[in-house]
Amino acid sequence: MIPLLRSALLTLLFVASLDAAAARDASAGGERKGATPGDFDFYVLALSWSPGFCALRDADDRPKEQCAPGKRLGFVVHGLWPQFEEGYPTQCGITTRGPSRAALEIAAAIYPEEHLAAHQWRRHGSCSGKAPTEYFADVKTARDKIVLPARLGPGSATVAMAPRDLERAFIEANPGLRLESLSVSCRKETLQEVRICMTKDLRGFRACPEVDRRGCRAPSISIPGVAGN
């Protein structure tokens, strides 16, 4: 019996060591729920390309306001996300209460949908260490710092482009922005969004190797035009 008990004990210890290793891996990268509010390294401003985002969603799963026929939105704010050098915090010290009406009025000038703003606050804004009104004001500050490439403005037609060329278009429009500070996200070789890494005080851009590594690797992507949106 003793050898059997010893074997069972070793098995349990081995399984426990695997669980501990998995927990360490999860904390080293990826999502970390319930982190300390305000404890993060930098921000990612995610700008969603509405024509691509809406085209990739099922008809009954498209946000009604953002994807309404004739809306013709281009880049819109998806979110401002606190990040670690590896991984990112979510749902930090969150309660069941959502943003106040005053906070959502600030968000209305930034996000394409109110429910998106509320969701972004609960999932990401709660990790900023700031009140909803302050967080949404920071989202506006971050968005106002970015100049969008002219070729992707109102009335733009569908084009094919290498992700790196799209990044360069943003760099040309924004002095100080570098390739290591932004990333293109795609699905089914269609542009979804552009993610720009900014310092914690939102005063400038900064390198973000992990965000860059997770970027689109397709040699060319379709960028659906605003005109056909």
Number of residues that make up the chain: 229
Summarize pLDDT for 138-160 with one digit per residue, the tens: 999 999 999 999 888 777 889 99
Residue 87 is which amino acid?
G
Pairing assessment for the beta strands 182-187 and 190-199 based on DSSP bridges: antiparallel
Summarize pLDDT for 205-226 with one digit per residue, the tens: 999 999 999 999 999 999 999 8
pLDDT at residue 14, as a whole number: 30
The pLDDT of 122-133, averaged and rounded, is 95
Q: Helical H runs in the chain?
A: 2-28, 50-55, 101-107, 114-123, 132-144, 163-173, 209-213
CATH number listed for the domain at residues 30-223: 3.90.730.10
- pLDDT of 7 higher than 60: no
| Residue bearing tokens 């922005």 | 177
Summarize pLDDT for 9-40 with one digit per residue, the tens: 333 333 233 233 333 333 446 899 999 999 99
Proportion of the chain above pLDDT 90, given as a percent: 70
| Residue bearing tokens 């799209």 | 166
Domain range annotation of the chain = 30-223
- pLDDT of 72 higher than 80: yes
Summarize pLDDT for 82-119 with one digit per residue, the tens: 999 999 999 997 655 689 999 999 999 999 999 999 99
pLDDT at residue 154, as a whole number: 75
**Two tokens, residue 15:** 């399984």
Tell me how far apart the alpha carbons of residues 132 and 119 are, in angstroms, rounded to a whole number: 12
